[in-house]
Structure 1
Amino acid sequence: MKLRKVTAAATTALVLSLTATACGGGDGDSDSGSGGGDKIKIGIKYDQPGIGQQTADGDFAGFDVDVATYVAKELGYTEDQIEWKEAKSADRETMLERGDVDFIAASYSITDERDKKVDFAGPYLLAHQDVLIRADDNSITKPEDLNNKNLCSVAGSTSAQNVKDTIAPKANLQTYGGYSECLTGLENEAVDALTTDDSILAGYAAQQQFQGKFKLAGLKLSNENYGIGVQEGSDLKDKINTALEKMVSDGSWDKAVEANFGPANYKNEPAPKIGNIVK
C-alpha cells in the first residue's frame, strides 16, 4: 500500500512537471534571446525619428530598429516574433538588469560607467555631438562660433550644458520641453542652434516636413560609440557581434544608414570595427 501511495504521488508530480514544461515556464517567451523561443524582447527609443520611433500606425522605424531587426533575424527570430519595448535613457540599465528585455538598441552610447553595469556588443555606429542650424546659416562653422548664439537644449539634456560649460561659455542656453519644440524654435529663428548627437539631429532633419530647412554644422564636439546593451555576462554579446559584422559585410548597414539619414545629407563615419571604442 505504501508503495502505491508513493507511485501515485510521483505520477502526479510528473504530470505537473510536464504541464509546466508545455506551458513554457509561464509566458512562452525566450529567456536567452538565442533563437527557438516564441518572442525576443528588444528595447528601442519610441520618440527619435531616424533612430527609433513609433509611427502613427503603430509600427516602428529608424536605424536602430533596422539594426535590431537584422540582429534578431540572425539570432533566429522573424519580425513578427519581435516584441518592442520602450527604453528611455534613464531606464536602460535597469531594464537589462531585471531581464525586461533581451537586448537594447537605443542610441546607447558605450561609457565606462555604463559598462560596469551591463555588457555591450558593438559599437555599430560612431556618432558625434553636433549642432543643427538653419540651412541658410553660414555663421557657425567652428565650436567657438556658438558664443553669443541662442543654443537650444532639451530639459534634462547634458549635451547643451556641455557646450555652455566647456566649449562656448558665452552661448545663451535656452531650455525647451522636447526636440520638436527646439526645431520649431530653430525654424522660427527663436534659437540659432540645437545640439545633441549628430545621428539624432540627422533623423529629425530627414523628416519630410523639415527636409531642406536645416543642416548639420559638422563640429564633432564628442565621440558617441553606439552599442547594443545586454545583461552582464550574457552569451548574446558574441552572437550579436557576429550579426553586426555580417550586417556590415553584406551591405545592409550602408543601406540602413542611407534609408534613415540620407535626406539630411548626414556625413556618417564608416562602420566601426567591433570592440573599437573611439574616445
Structure 2
Amino acid sequence: MVHRWRRQRRLRRMACAMLVLAMTSSAAGCGVVAGASGEPDGPTISIGVALDEPGVGWLHDGEYSGFDITVARYVAQALGYARKQVNFTQIRPGDAPAALHSGEAQMLVTSMPMDGTQPSGVQSTKPYLLTQQDLLVRAGDKPAIIAPSDLNGKIVCSAQGGGAAARLRQQAPGSVIRERQSYQQCVTALLVGEADAVSADDAVLSGLTFSTGKGYLRLVGQPLGEVLHSVQVRAGEDELVKKIDVVLDTMREDGGLAHALDAMQDATGYRGGSVPGMGR
C-alpha cells in the first residue's frame, strides 16, 4: 500500500509538471511567434505547427525544434523566405482548417487526421513522414494493456480533431473514448488516473514519453494504422502545392528528410517512422 501511494504521488507530481508545460506552450501559441529575433525585412509567412510535441514540433526555452519544424523551415526557405521572415503559430489538431481559412496560418506542417479524411477546404502535398497510430499507457499498470483488445471498458484519451477515435471504435469497440484539446492534456489525464491510455501518432507519443521521464509511461507497440505528415494549404492553391511537392522531393533526394528523422530518433528515442518515396 505504501509503495502504491508513493507511486501515485510521483505520478501526480509529474502530471502537475506536464500541466505547467502545456500551459506554457499554449501561451506561446496564443498568437504568431517570431521565428527569429529582430524585425524581418520583406514579407513574412505564418506556418502552423504543433509546439508541444517533443521531437515533432516543440518550443522549449525560446527554441523551436522537431521534425515538422525542420521541414517547415526548409520549405519556407525554398519558397524565398529568410529565417527572420518565418513565423510559427501553434495549431491544435482540431483547429487546422479554421487557421488556414482565417489566414492565421498560410500553411500547416503537421500530421493528417488519423482516420484518413481530408478536412473540408484543405489541400495537402505529398507526405513527407509516415508513422503509426499507437497507444501510450502507464508503465506499472496491472493487468498490463498490451493490445487494443485489452481496452474493453478502459478510458482512452485522444486529441480533438486528430482522427484517432475512428480507428479506436473499429479496433477497440469496447473502449470509452474521451477527447481533449491537446495530447499534453491527455498525458496529464493518464498520469492522474483519469484515462487508461492515450492514442496518437507514435512519434508524438515517443516524444511525450521522453519528456515525462523514464519509468512512468510506455508505448504498447501495436499499431492501429498509418499516420501521414504533410504540408497543408487552403483548397484551390494548386500551384503552391506543386511547388511544395518539388521542394519535398528535393529534401528527400538531398537527404534532408532522412537527417531530420535521425535527429528526431536521437532526441526522443523514437524507433519508428519512415520517409515515403514521394510518389503519388
TM-score normalized with structure 2 length: 0.70
Q: After the TM superposition, which of the residue ranges 95-104 and 64-73 deviates more from structure 2?
A: 95-104
Structure 1, unmatched stretches of 5+, are 1-35
Equivalences for 1:1-279 in 2 at 5 Å? 37-57=42-62, 59-109=63-113, 111-114=116-119, 117-135=121-139, 139-154=144-159, 158-160=163-165, 162-163=167-168, 165-173=169-177, 178-187=182-191, 191-207=195-211, 209-211=212-214, 213-231=216-234, 232-276=236-280
Aligned equivalents of 1:177, 1:44: Cα separation in 2: 15
Deviations 1:85-144 (A, max 9, x none): 233333322333454433211323484542x52321121112222101244669333321
Structure 2, unmatched stretches of 5+, are 1-40
Instruction: Give the deviation of 1:73 after TM superposition.
Output: 1.8
**Counterpart position of 1:3:** none
Aligned equivalents of 2:181, 2:52: Cα separation in 1: 13
Q: Across the two proteins, how many residue pairs are aligned to each other? A: 237
**2:225 is aligned with what amino acid?**
S
Deviations 1:158-205 (A, max 9, x none): 525742x32223335566675335434544666442112212212212
**In the superposition, relative to structure 1, how do residues 86 and 157 fare at CA in structure 2: closer, same or farther (>3 Å)?**
closer
**In the superposition, relative to structure 1, how do residues 50 and 70 fare at CA in structure 2: closer, same or farther (>3 Å)?**
same
Instruction: Give the deviation of 1:69 after TM superposition.
Output: 0.7
**In the superposition, relative to structure 1, how do residues 242 and 186 fare at CA in structure 2: closer, same or farther (>3 Å)?**
same
TM-score normalized with structure 1 length: 0.70
Q: After the TM superposition, which of the residue ranges 175-184 and 79-88 deviates more from structure 2?
A: 175-184
* Contact 1:96–1:230 (8 Å) recurs in 2: yes
Deviations 1:223-275 (A, max 9, x none): 22221012323422122112212222222222222323445442323211225
The share of aligned pairs that are identical, in percent, is: 31
Q: Which runs of 4+ in 1 moved over 6 A?
A: none
Structure having the larger proportion of residues in strand = 2
**In the superposition, relative to structure 1, how do residues 160 and 112 fare at CA in structure 2: closer, same or farther (>3 Å)?**
closer
**1:44 is aligned with what amino acid?**
V
| Higher gyration radius (CA) | 1
**In the superposition, relative to structure 1, how do residues 180 and 270 fare at CA in structure 2: closer, same or farther (>3 Å)?**
closer
